[in-house]
Amino acid sequence: MKKVLTMCLMLCLATTMIFAMAEQEKMDAKEPVVLTIWEHTPQFELPLKNTLERFMELNPDIKVEYEIKTPDNYLSLLTTAIQAGEAPDLFWHHGTATSDMDNLTAQNALMDLTSYLALDDYSEMSMDKVRVDGKVYQTPAATIDTRATFYNKDLFEEMGWEIPADFAEFETLLAKIKASGYIPISLAGRDSWNILFLFEPILAATNPDWIQEAATGSAKINDPRVIDAMNKMIEWGKKGYFGDNFLGVNEAGQYLSFSKGQAAMTVAGSWTTDTLSKNNPDMNIGAFQMPTKDGRKPIVLTYAAGFSVYSKTKEKEAAVKLAQYLSTKESQQIWVDGLGAIAGLKGIKSGSSLADEISDANLELESFYNIMVLYHADGEAPTKVWEEDNPKLLSGSLTAKELVEMIDPLMDYPNM
């Protein structure tokens, strides 16, 4: 009887162990949590892909699917998804650099991430992009976004052109390039953002003193110095320095014109380095900052913004975990490397030698766009007017003076 009882107990124990192992196998085979994240431009696909792959390697219980949208309709798609209660778990937006943060927080669309993220190493300028009323609603970014003049090094060497030492030499160079049969600067004349990325270096080169004053709220948008810089851009268009048909060119066309060797230079955001390199891997690309009249090298500095967590996400724990990873130095280094970008966080190295060329400057200046954001009057959106109407400057349907007089009443200058 004892032997039978012992065998029964052993059989029960074995059965229990088998069931326990089966249950464990079921748990191990559990489907991972799935998150969706949206990015607003194909230019950021590589760093996003690389970052998410590393995150999923560290977190095999979470799967992240990304969707790359286009800048033209990104915000309208995001707004529609939020209104329908179907926004992605995480999504990119401009932060406080535009009215995005105000609009999204007003809709209660963003999760307060303040207590979840460790952000002590980030600069105040970077944090200003993602924080409202002391609360963090977005992951910061380690990349410094600036603008630069990209040039075809081999073409410059072949034609005997040199990097200009001052603004007068830059204009002489434009004339030489056009006379040689090349487009001096490729430009997307129908894209307000690419127009901005050209206008800001022109303003920095011609009237850096206005930017320094305006950054403290001590100079107005309708200042003659701003009009002067706008008129310089208009003048270059009339002289054919952007090509004959630039008014119909979009962003992709601007980059391809340069990459195909049709244009000797393009003035664009620093984050385009990877795009330009991929368009033509054989091109030897260089970069410099458009010099001032007295030979200084100004750089317009802004910080990139990261991703917010949707306040109604059904996977809060996993979404927060991803936001936390996106804020780590490991993630930021992957992002910087993927873009070949300029690093703006201690312990992070810039992603390429081209990034080092871009950052070769001796005068740091605020962005014209950011000045409008910093000092807009309550309830007003001067950036919206700028975005909608700046292409009219180059088409001739709006003068520089008319545009600044439209924007100026929407501003509130603290030191004027």
What is the average per-residue pLDDT within 73-77?
Answer: 92
Would the pLDDT of 212 be above 80?
yes
Per-residue model confidence as pLDDT tens digits over 84-104: 999 999 999 999 888 889 899
How far is Cα 338 from Cα 23, in angstroms, rounded to an integer?
Answer: 42
pTM of the model: 0.78
Dihedral of the alpha carbons of 234, 235, 236, 238, in degrees to the nearest 10 = 90
230/249 Cα distance (integer angstroms) = 20
User: Is 186 within 8 Å of 257 (Cβ atoms)?
Assistant: yes
Q: How confident is the model at residue 43 (pLDDT cuts 50, 70, 90)?
A: confident
28 pLDDT more than 70: no
> Which tens digits make up the pLDDT trace of 240-276?
999 999 999 999 999 999 999 999 999 999 989 888 9
Average pLDDT (133-153) is 94
- Does the pLDDT value for residue 20 go beyond 90? no
- Can you say whether the dihedral through the CA atoms of 313, 317, 322, 323 is positive or negative? positive
pLDDT for 7 equals 55
Average pLDDT, the chain: 92
Tell whether the model's pLDDT for residue 15 goes beyond 60. Answer: no
What percent helix, strand, coil does the chain show, rounded to 5?
A: 50, 15, 35
Position 25 confidence tier, pLDDT thresholds 50, 70, 90: low
Distance between CA 332 and CA 143 in Å, rounded?
8
- The predicted pLDDT at position 6 comes to 54
Domains by residue range for the chain, with CATH: 33-144+304-343 (3.40.190.10), 147-302+353-410 (3.40.190.10)
Per-residue pLDDT band for 26 (boundaries 50, 70, 90) equals very low
- Looking at residues 117-121, what average pLDDT do you find? 94
Distance CA 358, CA 361 (A): 8
At 183, list the tokens. 């487009």
Going 263 to 265 to 266 to 269, the CA torsion angle's sign is positive
pLDDT at 72: 80
Determine the average pLDDT of the residues in 371-392. 94
What is the predicted pLDDT for the residue at 2?
Answer: 53
- pLDDT, average across residues 200-228: 98
Residue type, 379: G
pLDDT recorded at residue 304: 87
pLDDT at 340: 86
Q: What percent of the chain has pLDDT over 90?
A: 79
Choose the weakest-confidence range: 35-44, 156-165, 338-347.
Answer: 338-347
For 289-332, how does the pLDDT look when each residue is reduced to its tens digit (9 = 90+)?
999 999 999 999 888 899 999 999 999 999 999 999 999 999 99
Residue 50 has pLDDT above 90, yes or no: yes
pLDDT at residue 21 in the model: 56
